Amino acid sequence: MTKDEALLAYVLRLGDNALILGQRMIEVVTTYPELEEELANANLALDYIGQARLFYTYAGKLEGKDRGEDALAFLRDGGEFRNLLLLEQPNGHFGDMMARQVLFESFYLLQLEALEQCDDSHLAEIAARAIKEIRYHLRHGAQWLARLGDGTDTSHARVQQSINDYWQYTGEMFIADNVDQAFAEFFAGPDFEAIREQWQVNVAAILDEATLTMPGDEWMAAGGKRGRHSEHLGYLIAEMQFMQRAYPGVNW
């Protein structure tokens, strides 16, 4: 893998993660438990869509094939996406979504902090901008996890099950494949083993405050970073891409 190929593949992964999670969050607008939380969720989702646009625009320039952000978002098939499996899982109840946010954003924040120091200046600039948003996201999600975990017996049991259910998807975040290894070599990219260790410390502290139990080591699902997805991604992108597929080049 060449230096240019590694950078393009890495940036696309970041864009895919942001887009797919942003789409999942948009799906639950109007279903949150209170108006204030509705507005918060909409704004958090827009943060991810904005990050996806930055990553995709940069990826389009790196690729040099005149594919902009819209083409990369709406004109690729499921097997071309490289997002983490965790992010494409269907939305469940409110506790499920808070659990997913905390587990992913605890990782994503550490990844962005490492990317802020990487040897690609443009990607470092995007990371520095995104860090401010994700710090707020994580604080927001951790506060809700504490309210649910240390709330009623019912809310505690349900959000503990949310953590248990999503835990099997967390291992994929720390698998350094050929893209990650090449990016680390060429651009001083993130050390995923170091991130994993810090992530465990940070997540343990959040769960402890929420009176929740961290699941033990178990089998971990993987494949999203290689384009091997669950059936859920197909339904997600079919809905997300419908307008552009049905009316190619449509303008508002």
Evaluate whether residue 204 is within a structural domain.
yes
- 252 inside domain: no
Q: In the prediction, which pLDDT does 21 show?
A: 98
Q: Please report the pLDDT score of residue 250 as a whole number.
A: 79
pLDDT of residue 32: 77
The first and second tokens of residue 209, run together, are 């405050």
DSSP class per residue in 66-88: S--HHHHHHSS-GGG----HHHH
User: Could you tell me if residue 251 is inside a domain?
Assistant: no
CATH code for the domain in which residue 102 is found? 1.20.1260.10
The Cα angle at residue 202 between residues 201 and 208, in degrees rounded to 5: 90
Q: Residue 35: its pLDDT value, please? A: 83
Q: What is the pLDDT of residues 124-180, one digit of tens each?
A: 999 999 999 999 999 999 999 999 999 999 999 999 999 999 999 999 999 999 999
* Model pLDDT, residue 252: 65
> Do the domain assignments include residue 96?
yes
pLDDT digits (tens), the chain, 252 positions: 899 999 999 999 999 999 999 999 999 888 777 888 888 989 999 999 999 999 999 999 999 999 999 999 999 999 999 999 999 999 999 999 999 999 999 999 999 999 999 999 999 999 999 999 999 999 999 999 999 999 999 999 999 999 999 999 999 999 999 999 999 999 999 999 999 999 999 999 999 999 999 998 889 999 999 999 999 999 999 999 999 999 888 776
As for how many domains the chain has, the answer is: 1
For residue 17, being part of any structural domain is answered with yes
Tell me, what's the pLDDT at 217?
A: 80
Give the Cβ contact number of residue 112 at 10 Å. Answer: 24
Domain with 187 in it = 3-213+224-246
Token couple for 240:
């997300």
The amino acid present at 92, given as its one-letter code, is: G
Q: What are phi and psi of 90, to 5 degrees?
A: -60, 150
161 found inside a domain: yes
Count the neighbouring beta carbons within 10 Å of the beta carbon of residue 123.
Answer: 23
- Prediction pTM value: 0.95
Examine residue 235 and state whether it is found in any structural domain, yes or no: yes
Rounded to whole angstroms, what are the CA distances from 186 to 6, 7, 125, 248? 8, 9, 18, 37
Helix axes 94-115 and 121-149, enclosed angle (nearest 10):
150
Residue 33 maps to a domain:
yes
CA atoms within 13 A on the CB side of 155: 14
